[in-house]
Structure 1
Amino acid sequence: MLKAVQRPVTLVGGLEVPTWALGLAALGALAALAMPQSPLALPIVRCRVKPSGKYFWPMNPIKRDRLTGKRIADVYFADPDYPRKLGLHTGIDLNGPEGGDTDLGQPVHALTDGEVVFAGPAGPNDRSWGNLVVIWHPGPAVWTRSAHLRDVLVRVGQCVAAGQQIGTVGKGWNGIHPAHLHFDIIVKKPAGWDDWPMHDRKRLEETYYDPWKFLTEKVKPIDPPEWKKER
């Protein structure tokens, strides 16, 4: 029986390449794409955060005490006045000066430079979060979680600058909350970004850090541009 003769393939420019060589080249390319460590398997663009050392309050304006003029939160970290049935409060709730839903749509800003690791609706564990933005900040080595957002203006993998707008104040999933920003400082990565430790104080203290203490004692944040609500 006569064997089939494989003729060389002529490429552009007149170069003749044996068929078997093209086959090996194709297999090599497929293997490179399948290998996680291969440069071909990595994203073309990767976020490389360069900490600037700048810090910003996540909202401006924020509600202030009528007597002292100092900024205040509606609910604080592990607040004893928070409804017990809802568990331990993991962060702080920030609201506009006029309270209620008057800050709906107010810009929410990045605490400092970082990389977005989550952006969008919370998972099935706790849909009441609504939209979340979670950012890893290599400077202070913490994550921030901004919750109950109406609009999400960033995407996963994006580098954000200190003070950059990342979303707007919302009312949580299906509008179940009065408009406000829930803001967390996370020091230990939880199982999911919709995490809530309920009554587990040990897990709360291992996973979270008091955002008010961080903002008023650890760093010196400046105000982002003041929001002017459209009338």
Structure 2
Amino acid sequence: MNNTYTLLDSGNFKKLENVGGHLMVRPCPQACWTPSLPKHEWNKAKDIYLRSSKGGGNWKFNTLPEQWEIEYLQQKMIIRPTNFGHLGIFAEAASNWEWLKEKSNPNVKALNMFAYTGGSSLAMAKGGAQVTHLDAAKGIVDWARLNANANDIANIRWIVDDANRFLDREIRRGNKYDALVMDPPSYGRGTKGEIWKIEDDIMPYLERCKAVMSDKPAFILFTCHTPILPLKS
């Protein structure tokens, strides 16, 4: 299928991907091994994200449109190449989506935090859960809403807010959730300029999460892309 995602190869700190029929190369810092495919296969990719040694990077575009749609694990996802190298989908989360859908049902009230473009929210909604999708970036939440519309999903509550501030409000209101999904970044900013540093903020954040859990929780999914996490006591 040309309208899905396929990881074709990885190595030399890069990955070769087919994303809806578009061949591209993007950085992959953990891929320290030698690629399996010969160089001429990698050279077929005309769309390459080049990371700068000073941080950030830029795309070398030849063929990519502004956006397009793929179907991945029965979920339609809108793809957009961003200026920081992301596409709007983390394909490695596929097994998480399957697990979340399996664990969800109409009796589960779920909160998805740092929810990005909504892959996990869509999976839980398809499983029947009552989903609240939370992210501090309005543009990202708007993107997630487009993904929900593409999948004809309407049973998601959308929140643009800082995660800690939202949790504090829910604690004061006495609101509880049966399921929590979270993918905190290493560093981020809230809607009012709040600074998030995972090494400083993760433990107080988790205490807040504990306070909004129901007496009979269904599941918790915690993912994190910070290679080294020096927790502060």
Tell me, yes or no, whether TM beats 0.5.
no
- Is the helix fraction higher in 1 or 2? 2
TM-score (norm 2): 0.23
Name the structure where strand makes up a greater proportion of residues: 2
| TM-score normalised per structure 1 | 0.23
Larger RCO (alpha carbons 8 Å, 6+ apart) = 1
Over alpha carbons, which structure has the higher Rg?
Answer: 1
